[in-house]
Structure 1
Amino acid sequence: PTGGGQPGDCGLLRWEGGEARIAATVRDAGHPVLVPEEGASLPAPGTEVQQVLDWDRRYGHMRVHTALHLLSVVIPLPVTGGSISPERGRLDFDMADPPEDKEALADEMNALVARDLEVGEDWITEEHLDANPGLVKTMSVQPPRGAGRVRLVRIGIGDGQVDLQPCGGTHVARTGEIGRIRLGKVEKKGARNRRVYVHLDS
């Protein structure tokens, strides 16, 4: 839940004779907590339940999240914030001026999508991360620590690798799953802060 800055999952909790809609999933003291919709009836303690994930919403988050990684590739500047929904997302960049050509950036991103690059993961020690601070693109959120190792999300393999950064979120298996990307508005959020929106066409 909430890994990589994503919203937590939603879905249903089902049991014999009833069900409850889960509005959010959060983390509390290191444990996932399912948050039911207000007014939902809940099963008695000890009842066997089945969790049903809202897959369409989760998959939307996966596609948008991976698209934001590509945005950070075509705008290689420090990231100061971000937000993800199933249809669109945004990153805030440490930059004084807006991008000169949004269409050119969108074309670059869609070219990376069309290459259908593999998205995978690697793991490094916290010491390795400390020795390579350039891996961290986000200025506002640091990778989770305390487990002794940090997950890296990699886009592309070998000479075809285009991105490698710590991330705890969910991603698609290949960039081709993202679909067509278009860039939305660019907002000024301070003297050295620009907010860039990404939308998925389908």
Structure 2
Amino acid sequence: MTEALFRDDSYLQTCQARVTGVNERGGILLDRSIFFATGGGQPGDTGMIERPDGSSIAIGATVFGESKEQIVHVPAAEGPLPDVGETIVATIDWHRRYRHMRMHTALHIICAAMRTKITGAQIGEEESRIDLNMQDPPDRDAVLAAIMEAVNADHPVTTEWITDAQLDANPDLIKSMSVSPPRGSGLVRLVRIGANFDLQPCGGTHVRTTSEIGQVTITKIEKKGRLNRRIRIRLDD
């Protein structure tokens, strides 16, 4: 089991951890980690692990292991692996992660502004997309205006936890039609934007305030089926 430090503080860029195992494919297991594992449309983090002897291991991907409670750090290339029990220092590629955080929060804003369900999403460093359950194509200018209104409002972005039973009693909290909320521990993490702008289950990383997203550009709005509209966005910096 890996203590996922990013769930409580997505701004942590480095941490000390103990190696608890190396799986049969060379994936490194730690007792605690700041590395986000691929899930919910957000890519896993990349970065570096520094060993006690001063050598470093580049991490090219981060994924879940046998369960969502185990995070696997996948080396970018073959080479010496750490020993179980070793104390290492892990550092994420912060520029890449922070872009993902800004993008992810922007996609939540689009979902809330369009007042519909999500049918799919993919977060990228340069471009991201969200697929929405819509029949009529949304007006590009109206969508962008809604995004930037929320960005400029500087809404706080916070997290809170509810039980599985509370989520079952409030199914409208679930905005995604394609990805189930992260369950398993008995608690479900919610991401809230503003007091009442948006609230939904999410295991991803986000910025602290919407103003951190900055200027957004809508690159394309596509029809991907009778009830599916895809909105692609980029950040201007």
Scaled by the length of structure 1, the TM-score of the pair is 0.92
Tell me which of 102, 117, 135 is aligned to 2:140. 102
Determine helix, strand or coil for the equivalent of 2:44: coil
Using the alignment, how far apart are the partners of 2:100 and 2:79 within structure 1?
25
Instruction: State the distance in 2 between where 1:48 and 1:123 align.
Output: 31
Q: Which residue of 87, 99, 109 maps to 1:60?
A: 99
Is residue 163 of structure 1 aligned with residue 198 of structure 2?
A: yes
2 CA distance for matches of 1:74 and 1:87? 22
User: How far apart are residue 3 of structure 1 and its match?
Assistant: 4.4
**Aligned positions of 1:151-190 closer than 5 A:** 151-157=189-195, 161-190=196-225
The structure 2 residue matched to 1:2, chosen from 32, 38, 42, is 38
Aligned counterparts of 1:144 and 1:54: Cα–Cα separation in 2: 24
Moved more, 101-110 or 64-73: 101-110
Give the Å deviation of 1:49. 2.2
Please say if 1:50 is aligned against 2:89.
yes
The CA deviation at 1:2 is: 2.3
Q: Gapped runs of 5+ residues in structure 2?
A: 1-36
Summarize the alignment of residues 11-90 of structure 1 with structure 2, pairs less than 5 Å apart.
11-15=47-51, 16-29=53-66, 30-90=69-129
**Structure 1 spans left out of the alignment, 5+ residues:** none
Taking a change above 3 Å as real, the CA distance of residues 48 and 146 of structure 1, as seen in their structure-2 partners, is closer
Counterpart for residue 177 of structure 2: 139
Preserved contact between residue 13 and residue 19 of structure 1 (Cα < 8 Å): yes
Instruction: Give the superposition deviation at 1:27.
Output: 0.6
> Equivalent pairs: percent with the same residue?
49
Aligned to 2:186: 148
- Pairwise CA distance, 1:123: 1.4
Q: Is the 8 A contact 1:3 1:170 kept in 2?
A: no
By relative contact order (CA 8 Å, sep 6+), the higher-ranking structure is 1
User: How far apart are residue 60 of structure 1 and its match?
Assistant: 0.6
**Contact kept in structure 1, 2:140 and 2:221, CA below 8 Å:** no
Contact 2:162 2:187 in 1 (8 A): yes
Root-mean-square deviation over aligned CA pairs: 1.5
Within 1, Cα distance between the matches of 2:163 and 2:86? 40
Instruction: Summarize the alignment of residues 108-123 of structure 1 with structure 2, pairs less than 5 Å apart.
Output: 108-123=146-161
Q: Distance in 2 between matches of 1:167 and 1:133?
A: 14
User: Contact between 1:10 and 1:24, CA under 8 Å: does it hold in 2?
Assistant: yes
User: What TM-score results when the alignment is normalised by the length of structure 2?
Assistant: 0.79
Q: Secondary structure at the match of 1:8?
A: coil
Q: Deviations over 1:91-150 (max 9, x none)?
A: 111122211x20121111111111111001121111111111111010011112221221
Contact 1:118–1:175 (CA under 8 A) maintained in structure 2: yes
Structure-2 change in CA distance of 1:130 and 1:43 (3 Å): closer
What is the alpha-carbon distance in structure 1 between the residues aligned to residue 123 and residue 86 of structure 2?
A: 34
For residue 36 of structure 1, report the CA deviation from its aligned partner.
0.6
Three-state SS of the structure 2 residue aligned to 1:110 is helix
Partners of 1:59 and 1:177 in 2: CA distance = 10
| Offset, 1:195 | 1.1
